[in-house]
Structure 1
Amino acid sequence: MLATLIAGAISISAAAVFSFAFLSRMVERMVSLSVGILLSTSLLHALPEAFESGADTHALFATLLGGLLGFFLLEKFAILRHSHHHEGDGHGHEHGHDKHEAGRSGWMILVGDGLHNFTDGILIAAAFLANPNLGIITALAIVAHEIPQEIGDFIVLLNAGFSRVRAYAYNLICSLMAVVGGIVGYLMLDRASGWIPYVLVFASSGFIYIAVSDLMPQMQRRATVRETIPQVLLVTVGVCVVLFLTGRMHLH
């Protein structure tokens, strides 16, 4: 429990310091970095790990489909997105309406992040039960892996209109899901271990949906070559950071 709590708190705090100190003035541009981080975390790490687990492939794809459709419905009904428009578009919405609308991506990223942290807690518990030293290494590796992902989450939340305090507070609450996952993993490891691939896939579906549905369309609205080149470079940087850190995770 202590390892899951520390892992979550350290990764959240480090990501917050980096995001708020260096990236807050470039949130709009850093959306591109977030796309690279979210897509590469999902497609190059979480999903391969899930599909290599030996779980039923058809069931995993069904979970992925269900997750994508579920986040679509969440966007439609729970977040009450009625239309897609922009401030100053002449539609007569009250000031700040777009900021409110943009918040849907923030809430969905928090749901996906909470599920991902829950899975990390299960993984840490499994490692500690196998070997305490392995548990410590696993927790440290997860901290290294979580920092770039949490930076991406902070960028999404700031872009969605969350204040710095709210973004940090909600991310910190989500990090507590790692403690819940650690407890579940410790008490019901045999049964919980079978859930891990499906939780990974469902969490990944949320990250993919956010990147493709909300963030990439924002990037597409800036279509000049001068704006496109930095976008491509930042997406590439996000992918490379995740590739580097997930490669280090294989130490455990």
Structure 2
Amino acid sequence: MTLLAWIILFTALGGALSAIAASAFLLAPASMRVRVLPHLVSFATGALLGAALLGLLPHAIEGVGIESIHGIGIALLAGLLLFFVLEKLVLWRHCHQEVCEGHVPHVPHHDHGHGGHAHDHGKARDAASASLILIGDGFHNVLDGVLIAAAFMTDVHLGIVTAIAVMTHEIPQEVGDLAILLQGGMSRAKAFTLNTITSITSVIGGIAAYFFLAEAQYVLPYALAIAASSFLYIAVADLIPGLHRRVDPGSGVKQFVFIMLGVAVIFVSHSLAH
């Protein structure tokens, strides 16, 4: 199978499977979702950290050699700052109304003759959030495709490990995205269809990166460093703060176990591949 075929296969497969898994997850009983989702987030955290620190960064350093390692450090720092800015622009992750409005919770309006207007305004905001989710998620998935392509162009096995890591963090995010689309007034069928379409936009990013990076091989190690920075940013800035909201010792132990399980899956996958 050609390298481009590997990239198309895994970007399409990752996007489609994450969207289908998220849809199936939403159909599960609420009690089951509450129990399973924290473990899924913990596992994704470990997989992202493992892929960044055990796979992408070592290959990036190997690609430039020890004499140019500072360039990889600069690329890593630039990537972290880039994703901070993108998140501030509400393009990196999905935007809940509470986040967009400074974590101010929605307070039900009492009806003093204007209840209809308040209700309509709330529906309009929910619809706007749904549209923003589709735009932001499409951009996010195109970027994921670029990262996966960069990994595949370095080593097919690294590409597979990177695609697995992307998939593990996409599933919890897709669950949240679907919930917002449904809250925005979409039917289940329409929400699933649009979410799946945005999920497979990663194929566009993968193909574009393949042709660009093929003409600029010297950029490849730095692309890997930026890929690592995105995984580190998601894990440290987005996922771990959510895990810290559970402060009881039992939850902490379970989180650590599932984080280590995520790291172990990446480590074993990468080790077997080499």
Common fold by TM > 0.5: yes
Q: Paired residue for 1:73, among 82, 85, 89?
A: 85
Query: Could you tell me which residue of structure 2 aligns to residue 127 of structure 1?
Result: none
Report how far residue 178 of structure 1 moved.
2.0
- Normalised by the length of structure 1, the TM-score is 0.73
Query: Could you tell me which residue of structure 1 aligns to residue 273 of structure 2?
Result: 249
Unaligned runs of 5+ in 2: 110-121, 182-190
- Count of matched residue pairs: 230
- Normalised by the length of structure 2, the TM-score is 0.68
Query: Could you tell me which residue of structure 2 aligns to residue 179 of structure 1?
Result: 207
Alignment of 1:25-64 (within 5 A): 25=33, 26-55=36-65, 56-64=68-76
Report how far residue 91 of structure 1 moved.
11
Kindly tell me: are residues 11 and 213 of structure 1, through their superposed partners in 2, closer, same or farther at Cα, counting changes over 3 Å? closer
Report how far residue 215 of structure 1 moved.
1.0
Identical positions, percent? 24
Cα pair 1:120 1:178 within 8 Å, conserved = no
Report how far residue 184 of structure 1 moved.
3.0
- Computing the radius of gyration from Cα coordinates, the structure with the larger value is 2
Query: Could you tell me which residue of structure 1 aligns to residue 148 of structure 2?
Result: 117
Query: Could you tell me which residue of structure 1 aligns to residue 240 of structure 2?
Result: 216
Unaligned runs of 5+ in 1: 125-137
Moved more, 4-13 or 171-180: 4-13
Does the alignment pair 1:2 with 2:1? no
Kindly tell me: are residues 141 and 63 of structure 1, through their superposed partners in 2, closer, same or farther at Cα, counting changes over 3 Å? closer
Kindly tell me: are residues 91 and 73 of structure 1, through their superposed partners in 2, closer, same or farther at Cα, counting changes over 3 Å? farther
Aligned residue identity for 2:166: Q
Cα pair 1:115 1:177 within 8 Å, conserved = yes
Cα deviation per residue 1:116-156 (whole Å; 9 max; x = unaligned)?
123145347xxxxxxxxxxxxx3x77346523431222223
Alignment of 1:65-214 (within 5 A): 65-79=77-91, 84-85=102-103, 87=105, 110=141, 112-120=143-151, 122-123=153-154, 138=156, 142-143=159-160, 145-159=162-176, 161=180, 165-186=193-214, 188=215, 192-214=216-238
Cα pair 2:21 2:171 within 8 Å, conserved = no
Is the partner of 1:32 in helix, strand or coil?
Answer: helix
Cα deviation per residue 1:11-69 (whole Å; 9 max; x = unaligned)?
44445555655697323431111111111111111011101112521111111111111
Q: Distance in 1 between matches of 2:229 and 2:45?
A: 14
Report how far residue 183 of structure 1 moved.
2.5
Aligned residue identity for 1:30: L
Aligned residue identity for 1:71: F
Cα pair 1:50 1:201 within 8 Å, conserved = yes
Q: Distance in 2 between matches of 1:48 and 1:20?
A: 35
